[in-house]
Structure 1
């Protein structure tokens, strides 16, 4: 039995547009895909380490192989889980947040980062809640340890990334793929949301994951 787990992005949820689309498409081919809520009821104390532990707890107990599909920060998390667990035999990364700290912190600015460190919480807009929620500074401290240079396990990996991505530049995925021959990068005419290329994404996942032709949409 093939197992699939989808990891949503930062300040998102299992009800995001990409998560719903993935759930619907897998349902149409009678294949189960787990989509855990990585907010875990406490977005304010989110860390990548917590996400990794939460997803590992979803793994089948009998060591059956699985595929992780991750979006943005979920993609980065999936890549690090693949480094830790041999059960992960394929990765599909949608606009993965490689180097996200350098991009995000540059946008925040030094003054706001210092205030975050002093006050311990930073207001972050959460798309599911439709409002700002406080995020603890521990998120930043924890995230700093997850660097791409440690990702060296040759897991078959498919990356789909928009050339007009305004959050994580396409150059981040290009550099990641350039150094890893087991990575296939597909560049799409889209932004970070990838909302206009859902069909292209599905076709690429269908091929990469070797889903049965009879199930093809």
Structure 2
């Protein structure tokens, strides 16, 4: 792959139904495709919202079918925030939509996920591990978050150190503001302010280049 273009969706939608979240996601996906993106990453719980009395139940394949159809049509890979249910307990997870499969893959959110361009799976970093296992071929680590203020500052400091320590680019999709991309040296490529937008990064022969695309 001579050029790889990725994007973080700075998505702050708080809808009352999965269907409305899906419709909102489609707007970001269509814009990312117009920008030539190969990968689009949403913040945590983007498909469900955080819920009022606890994490919502996970959406099913039928509810998410429009997203799978969109990624197949537009040839773009999407990572979205969802919930998972196991043994009666609901917890945060990731949903992976890829263009050439009819299956939606689901993973625990963990500390984030690493991936190799073109590979149809994620490697999730265990929240309990101090020595994460990263595929040596992986060129990107993604972090799906929904944090403000002090937690955001802690996150960007931690992710910058992570990029430098493990020599891997890091893309953070945050719900409200401050989505960012660091290169494999831990240098900041681009960081967003407030608002709904796409933060994009392209990896070419001269390294990473970033851009902010407002969604007006």
Taking structure 1 as the reference length, what is the TM-score of the superposition? 0.36
Judging by fraction of residues, say which structure has more helix: 1
Larger radius of gyration: 1
Using the size of structure 2 for normalisation, the TM-score is 0.36
